[in-house]
Chains A and B, each alone.
Chain A
Amino acid sequence: MRDMFRSLVFVLLLQSGLAHAGLTIEITQGVEGAVPIAIVPFGWSGAGAAPENLAAIISSDLSRSGRFDPLPDRDLVAHPTDAAMVKFQNWRMLSVDNLVIGQVSQTSAGQYSVRFELFDVYRGKQIIGYSFPAGSQDLRRVAHHISDLIYEKLTGEKGAFNTQIAYVTTTGSGKGKTYTLLVADSDGYSPQTILRSNQPLMSPAWSADGRQIAYVTFENKAAEIYLQDVASGSRRKVASFPGVNGAPSWSPDGRRLALTLSQDGNPEIYIMEVASRALKRLTTNPAIDTEPAWAPDGKSLVFTSDRGGSPQLYRIASWGGQPQRLTFEGKYNAGADISPDGSKIAMVHGNNGSYRIAVLDLKSGVTRVLTDGRLDESPSFSPNGSMIIYATDAGNRGVMAAVSVDGRFRQRLSIQAGDVREPVWSPFGK
């Protein structure tokens, strides 16, 4: 994939710094309104029907971010597929700032060329344009990559559409229950099974380079932690102590794994050097200490503890010392994930019998509840920090949902049948 993008053909890139800057300010100020954008269905030349609807994928990506409001297809006044066909005055009448057009051309059997252009409608100029070669398996990811390019150009923030999500599903019930660990695209499409078991699988955690996933498996009727290489599927057991072996979390440098062990009598946080598997105990408290999450600078971790009587979040230095309590609002705050810039903590916030996803802003100390479910859990930041993916209950079935960090935009992600839980967003650049 990476190689494919490296080999991208640069078509045209006009300097449009002013338009870009203007747009950025508009979005920052106008958080109450998503920016309208027209995404025209891509042209198709080749045998048979078009293999994928790239415009629909891009439109869904941009809309899911909460920052853009793509025009519905019925409002598209024209269907240009190259720059010469674009009549900017038509689009100005629709009050859209930007226009995306493109073309998919078959170059040989199963091989395509995808070209797209992004226009500033008011200036009547192209902002960016690229063309990519792609196999049929790559088309969806090319669309996500195009979404990333558009998103970054228009918001000034890196896009996170061409990334992946790991999650666990269960199908069947009782003794016939099957637990599956999967990896899918960030929009929930193209799921690939990486592990299947008739015993629980839980707590998947991506390594910082996106190459490995740590998880907890009960396949041997006891909790064990494995590290699995995503591409090859090879794996190794790293923790199989008496009692709890849980909540693995990779350090940002990829050399250490924070985890929860109860080998000393109750759940405590430990740090393991992955290479030597040497352990260092971090917490010492008769309470439940679990769910460690590394700060992006690797200097501290946030974890859940009920040492104060109810589960709350605490921060501890990665070398140990005295933990400091971070959450005070509500009787239940657990399952922390720290934003990539370290400024926010997403968590499960229990209040009045409902469990919802909330974000604590560490600078202001303000907690904002972002979701309105009854059993929401497992929040995970996108690698650009703009979205949070989480698990929610939809009519007695667990599904994945995404919410923008400002809470303004929420959407459920398409997924196959089964009960979905514990989505975790991959880092960039896998």
Chain B
Amino acid sequence: MRYSMHSLIGLLLVAVLAGCSSKGGTTDGEMAAVDDRGMGAGEGAYATGAAGAGTFQGMSIDDPNSPLSRRVIYFEYDSSDILAEDQDLLVSHAAYLAANPGQGVSLEGHADERGSREYNIGLGDRRVQAVRRVLELQGVSAQQITTVSYGEEKPAVEGHSDTAWRMNRRVEIVYTGY
């Protein structure tokens, strides 16, 4: 793996989440819920004992200002390396999932249209596995994760341009039930 951030997860995570929630014009209730995420992540030191996990769960996934609202990460051509800019995002998702062991997630891998279709299924699968490894390293249970590779079969953007291809080389993080 290209990164090694799992050691600084705890602090970073809280910083990221708190930062996002505070600039998002959320209500107090939501603030409390976001804080609770730190607790849920198993970092006992940050626990505030505020709102219940149920409240938090609904809020954070649906909150457009939460980092969790970003559920797609992108890849270079023929690569499954996770880009530096997406590492924090995956850590946030991992923390949320680890804090909510009942929440399932489906990782959907995709490739751009170039080359042969089944090889692209393989590429999508490799991208999904890269994301899965990050999540599992961050404490997400293997039982929470299902994976599927669609290869080039479900492009996010139709077309044959570099732009379309860039948008199509991706892993989508799909929360079960959403």
Q: A133: which B residues are within 8 A, CB to CB?
A: none
Q: For residue A288, which residues in chain B have a CB less than 8 angstroms away from its CB?
A: 119, 122-123, 125-126
With known contacts A222-B148, A375-B160, A291–B125 Cβ distance under 8 A: no
In the assembled complex, the CB of B3 is this many whole angstroms from the nearest CB of chain A, namely: 19
Most buried by B among A244, A290, A350, A378: A244
**Please, what's the 1-or-0 string for A393-426, where 1 marks a CB less than 8 Å from any CB in chain B?**
1001000000000000000000000000110000
| Residue from the list B78, B118, B147, B158 in contact with A246, Cβ < 8 A | B118
Assess whether A155 is interfacial by the CB under 8 Å rule: no
Q: A221-B106, A311-B115, A375-B160 are in contact. List 7 more A-B contacts (CB 8 A).
A: A200-B150, A222-B146, A223-B148, A262-B149, A266-B125, A348-B115, A350-B115
Q: Does A43 contact B (CB under 8 A)?
A: no
Instruction: Give chain B's interface residue range (CB within 8 Å of chain A).
Output: 20 to 34
Say yes or no: B116 contacts A244, CB within 8 Å. no
Residue in B115, B116, B123 whose Cβ sees the most chain A Cβ within 10 Å: B116
Asked whether any CB of chain A lies closer than 8 Å to the CB of B129, the reply is: yes
Q: Which residues of A contact B158 (CB under 8 A)?
A: 173
Nearest Cβ distance between residue A332 and chain B, in whole angstroms? 6
The reply to whether the CB of B13 lies closer than 8 angstroms to some CB of chain A is no
Work out how many contacts link A and B, with CB atoms closer than 8 A: 100
Question: Which of B78, B125, B126, B160 is in CB contact (< 8 Å) with A393?
Answer: B160
**Min CB–CB distance A311 → chain B (angstroms):** 5
Please list the residues of chain A having a beta carbon within 8 angstroms of any beta carbon in chain B: 173, 200, 202-203, 218, 221-223, 242-244, 246-247, 260, 262, 265-267, 288-291, 304, 306, 310-311, 332, 334-335, 348, 350, 355, 374-375, 377-378, 393, 396, 421-422
Q: Determine which of A218, A260, A266, A332 lies in contact with B118 in the assembled complex, contact meaning CB atoms within 8 Å.
A: A260
B118 and A247: CB pair below 8 A?
A: yes
Q: Which of B113, B114, B117, B121 contacts A350 (CB 8 A)?
A: B114
Partner of A332 from B115, B121, B129 at Cβ < 8 Å: B115
Cβ contacts under 8 Å, B146 to chain A:
222, 242
Q: A173-B158, A262-B125, A393-B160 are in contact. Are A377 and B116 (CB under 8 A)?
A: yes
Whole-angstrom distance between the Cβ of A292 and the nearest chain B Cβ: 9
Q: How far is the CA of A350 from the CA of B119 in the complex (A)?
A: 13
Q: Considering residues B114, B121, B147, B154, which has the most beta carbons from chain A within 10 angstroms of its beta carbon?
A: B121
- Most interface-central of A173, A332, A350, A377 (chain B CB within 10 A): A377
Say whether, besides A335-B119, A348-B116, A267 and B125 are in contact (CB < 8 Å).
Answer: yes
Q: Judging by beta carbons under 8 Å apart, are B117 and A244 in contact?
A: no
Complex contact B129–A334 (CB within 8 A): no
A266 to B158, CA, bound (A): 28
Interface: B54 (CB within 8 A): no
Interface SS of B by simple majority: mixed
Any A CB within 8 A of the CB of B81:
no
Task: Tell yes or no: B25 within 8 A of A by CB.
Answer: no
- Is B159 positioned at the interface, with any CB of A under 8 Å from its CB? yes
Interface flag for B172 (CB, 8 Å): no
Residues 109-153 of B contacting A (Cβ, < 8 Å) = 113-119, 121-123, 125-126, 129, 146-151, 153
Question: Given A200-B153, A243-B147, A244-B149 in contact, is the A378-B125 Cβ separation under 8 Å?
Answer: no
Docked-complex contact B126 and A335, CB < 8 angstroms: no
Q: In the assembled complex, how far is the CB of residue B22 from the closest CB belonging to chain A, in whole angstroms? A: 35
Q: Are A290 and B115 in contact (CB under 8 A)?
A: no
Residues from chain A with Cβ under 8 Å of B78 in the complex = 306, 310
Q: Are B148 and A291 in contact (CB under 8 A)?
A: no
Report the separation of the CA atoms of residues A306 and B117 in the bound assembly, to the nearest whole angstrom. 14
A222 proximity list for chain B (CB < 8 A):
146, 148
The 15 sampled A-B contact pairs (Cβ below 8 Å) are: A173-B158, A218-B148, A218-B153, A223-B149, A260-B122, A266-B125, A288-B122, A290-B121, A290-B122, A291-B118, A311-B116, A311-B119, A334-B119, A378-B116, A421-B117
Q: Nearest B residue to A289 by beta-carbon distance?
A: B122
CB distance from B52 to the nearest CB of A (A): 31
| Cα-based distance from A421 to B158 in the complex (angstroms) | 15
A266's partner among B114, B126, B151 (CB-CB below 8 A) is B126
Nearest Cβ distance between residue A313 and chain B, in whole angstroms? Answer: 11
The chain B residue with its CB closest to the CB of A174 is B158
A334→B111 CA distance, assembly (Å):
15
Given A222-B148, A288-B122, A288-B126, residue A202 in contact with residue B116 (CB < 8 A): no
If A243-B125, A265-B129 touch, whether A378 touches B147 (CB-CB below 8 Å) is no
* Complex CA distance for A265 and B126, rounded to whole angstroms: 9
Q: B115 — which chain A residues lie within 8 A by C-beta?
A: 311, 332, 334-335, 348, 350, 355, 377
Contact A396 B114 (CB under 8 A): no
A204 to chain B, nearest CB (A): 11
Cβ–Cβ contact B160 & A396, under 8 A? yes
Among the listed A242, A246, A262, A375, which residue makes an inter-chain contact with B114, where contact means beta carbons less than 8 Å apart? A375
Docked CA distance A310–B123 (Å): 12
Task: Kindly list chain A residues whose C-beta atoms are within 8 Å of the C-beta of B123.
Answer: 288
Chain A residue contacts of B114, Cβ below 8 A: 350, 355, 375
A203, B117: Cβ atoms closer than 8 Å = yes
Most B CB within 10 A of own CB, among A173, A200, A203, A350: A200
Q: Which residues of A contact B153 (CB under 8 A)?
A: 200, 202, 218
Bound CA span A355–B122, Å: 18
Return chain A residues, CB-CB under 8 Å to B148.
Answer: 218, 221-223, 243
- What chain A residues lie within 8 Å of B129 (beta carbons)? 265-266
CB closest residue in chain B, given A288: B122
Name the residue of chain B whose CB is nearest to the CB of A170.
B153
Which residue of chain B has its CB nearest to the CB of A347?
B116
